[in-house]
Amino acid sequence: MPRKRHTKEKKNRDLAIPTDSFSDIAFLLIIYFILATTLTKVRSITADLPSGEKTTQAQPEKTSIVNLRGSELFFNDQKMEIGALNERLAALNLGEQDGNKRVIMLESARGTSYENYFQALAAISAHGGVVAIVENEK
Amino acid sequence: MGDIAFLLIIFFLVCSEASKDKSDLDVKLPYSEHVAKQKTTVVARVALDGTGQIYFDGVKVDSAKDVEWGVRNLLTNTVADDQRHVQFKCDKLQSKEAFEPILQAIAEAGGIIEAVGEKSEK
């Protein structure tokens, strides 16, 4: 008889789910999430390039143009450094202009690196200009 | 204690967003003094790595045309300007022939370009 009682007790003990280690597991998961999460915030420039019909007719006498030829930078055919371009663009007060007066054409020669292009694009956008990409004839 | 821990886990799971950005891309970012922390939420991420491979939301695509269709598709019912931002990440050594068609594709599709770069001193 005592033997029978013993097996019944064992059965009851097996049914219970051990929850003692749950909080430990939970905290381990929290530590994992905290360590694995990377709060990255990228830095960027915002460039709103106008879309629409392509035109072959430009108005260079009215619109300023930035040319990138290899590593050289020209603003209205004047060679200058990126610092000088910033000053010239700031003087134009593009942010306070409206419509077409905010447009700056950006032309680049074949093989122009993105590094130079990005700097020109960033300068124009930062001063409130709207970039119009000039496509070279193929 | 265990209840609090599980509540915290649920909080982390709900708040965390799985990154669509492929962080293992071989992209050397260009520098500019004008870059600022991106405040807007982007609808899509376009990348051009050092080998010239184009990625749209982390998936390899063949050409700039695919990017245009992808962005156009995402912006179909978009009206507000702050929902048109498209992140563009490009290797600084890439040439105009590679990146300009992508910039034009994003613009043609109606996206506002968020060109990613790193901050340089004046």
B15 is a domain residue: no
Identify whether the C-beta of residue B100 lies closer than 8 Å to the C-beta of residue B11: no
Question: CB distance B116–A44 less than 8 Å?
Answer: yes
B46 is a domain residue: yes
ipTM: 0.81
Cα-based torsion angle of the residue sequence B39, B28, A38, B22 in order, rounded to the nearest 10 degrees: 90
**Structure-token match 């870059």, residue found:** B35
Summarised one tens digit per residue, pLDDT across range B6-64 is 888 888 777 766 555 655 678 899 999 988 887 788 899 999 999 999 999 888 999 99
* A26, A83, A133 member nearest B6 (Cβ): A26
B11 is a domain residue: no
Predicted pLDDT of residue B55 = 93
Question: CB distance B2–A111 less than 8 Å?
Answer: no
Cα–Cα dist B48/B30, whole Å: 13
- At A49, is the secondary structure helix, strand, or coil? coil
- For residue B44, what are the domain limits? 20-119
Q: How many domains does chain B have?
A: 1
Residue ranges per structural domain of chain A: 2-36, 64-134
Q: Which residues pair with residue A132 across a beta bridge?
A: A105
Summarised one tens digit per residue, pLDDT across range B67-94 is 999 999 998 877 788 889 999 999 999 9
- Chain A nearest-CA distance from B65, in A, is 15
Question: CB distance A49–B100 less than 8 Å?
Answer: no
B104 is a domain residue: yes
B13 is a domain residue: no
Identify whether the C-beta of residue B60 lies closer than 8 Å to the C-beta of residue B54: yes
Predicted pLDDT of residue B58 = 86
* B32, B34, B107 member nearest A51 (Cβ): B107
Residue in A with minimal Cα distance to B88: A44
B9 is a domain residue: no
B14 is a domain residue: no
Contacts of B12 (CB under 8 A, 6+ apart): A30, A33, A34, A37
- Chain B nearest-CA distance from A73, in A, is 15
Residues of chain A positioned with their CB less than 8 A from the CB of B36:
43-45
Level-2 CATH architecture, domain A64-134: 2-Layer Sandwich (3.30)
* A23, A43, A113 member nearest B5 (Cβ): A23
